[in-house]
Each structure stands twice: as structure tokens, then as C-alpha cells.
Amino acid sequence: MRIIPAIDIINGKCVRLSKGDYSTKKIYNENPLEVAKKFEDYGVQYLHVVDLDGAKSKHLVNHKILYQICVKTNLKIDFGGGIKSDKDIRIAFENGANQITGGSIAVSNKTLFLKWLKKYSSEKIILGADFKDRKIATNGWLSNSETDVLEFIKYYENQGIEYVISTDISKDGMLAGASETIYKEILGASKINLIASGGVSSIKDVENLNMIGCEAVIIGKAIYENKILYTELPKLIEQNA
């Protein structure tokens, strides 16, 4: 299982939210590049970067920070937040993203999302399936749909999606454990590569997600709040490889 630390960006700074609520913003570093370099120094190979300004404004905003991280590290970055047009996705890839995550667009414009899937391949396009009370949320989690998370994933699996990032919004940033029950349900009903996100609070949580079959786990606040130490990352990566 891959270990993927997260960097969320608002106003060019590395932040974390609780349950996706922008009013709970906590700044951890003024310079996301410094954070990315530190992750790399401790053996991290993959990074999850979210443009929260982009998610809220519905278009790409922080691509320059993406470019800086890509140019000055060797990290493989999956990037999301505000990618709503052909121009947005082109800019994201041109600025170094290894993969793109599309969530809101997969709800609001299936035709465009599937066009990207065909053009860039299932290795490059990740489905963002973030949910609250099992319903898919969109636009930086500021809007809710009536689509069940499992139905959403199954639909796109049938269209060729291979990678899915799924976040239980009610757990995100709360350090109270991941949604293992729903992840087990998803993994039992599909063959996608599931990237678990939200609620990870300890090394034990990471081990549990590995045991149930997740392909990767995204870790954010647990690292920033020292629940999982930077110095523990190399061993964690090795043990879950």
C-alpha cells in the first residue's frame, strides 16, 4: 500500500480543514514547497495536492505552487481541486502533475470527464468520490448530490476508471479513524484501486487500511499534528510496501 501525504493549499499556504469546513482553516506552513521537500527527505515518493482555492472558485488557481513542487522535488503528485475544463486539466499536466483527480466534474459533466479518461488514460485520471452520509459531495465539499458513493464508483468503474480517492467528509481532519466499513463495502463490490482518505489518526489506522485491501492511503492532519511523526514515515512506507 502506498503512503501518500497530503498538502492542501489556500492562499498559497499549506493548510488543513476539519470536515471540509473552510472556516476551520489552520495554517501549518507558509510555503508548501518546504513541506513537500521535507516529505521527500523522509522517503516519501507520492504526494496528494489539493487546490482548495480552485475547488471553491471552480477553476484552477494554485498551479504555480504545483509547478514549484514538481520542478524542485522528484515526488509523483496527484493533483485536484477546481479542475473543471480542458484548459484546467491541460495546465495541471503541463505544470507537472502525474495524475489528476476529478470529483465535482464527474458529477456535473460526465461527458467531459469521460473524454479526459479516454484522452489521458485510466493511469492518469483518478475519480474523486468524496462523500457525506454516503452521498457524493462536490465543489470543495460545499455542495451535496443525491448520488450514493458505491453507485458512483461502480458507474465509473464500468467506464474504465481504475483509481478512486474516497474521503468520508465527516471524518476528514477529525483524527478519529478512517471509514473502514464503507471501504470494505467498496472493495467487496468492485476491483478498483481504492485510495483511502480522511480520518487517519495513527499508524494502526494505516495498518488496518492495508489489511482490508486499500491500494493507498492519504495522510494529512495526523502528520501535521504529530500523531504520525516524520521520522516514522520511512518505516511506515517500508512496512506497507
Catalytic residues: 8, 130
What gap in Å lies between CA 204 and CA 207, rounded to an integer?
5
Please check whether residue 116 is in contact with residue 85, taking contact to mean a CB–CB distance below 8 angstroms.
no
Distance CA 208, CA 157 (A): 24
Q: How far apart (Å, rounded) are the C-alpha atoms in residues 229 and 222?
A: 8
How many C-alpha atoms does 220 have within 13 Å on its Cβ side? 30
Please provide the DSSP assignment of 190-217 as one string.
Answer: --SEEEEES---SHHHHHHHHHHT-SEE
Edge-to-edge strand ranges of the sheet holding 131-132: 131-132, 135-138, 143-148
Alpha carbons 18 and 167: distance in angstroms, whole number? 12
Structural Rg of the chain based on CA atoms: 16
Cβ atoms of 214 and 195 within 8 Å: the answer is yes
Coil, helix or strand at residue 124: coil
Contact assessment for residue 46 and residue 4, using Cβ atoms and an 8 Å cutoff:
yes
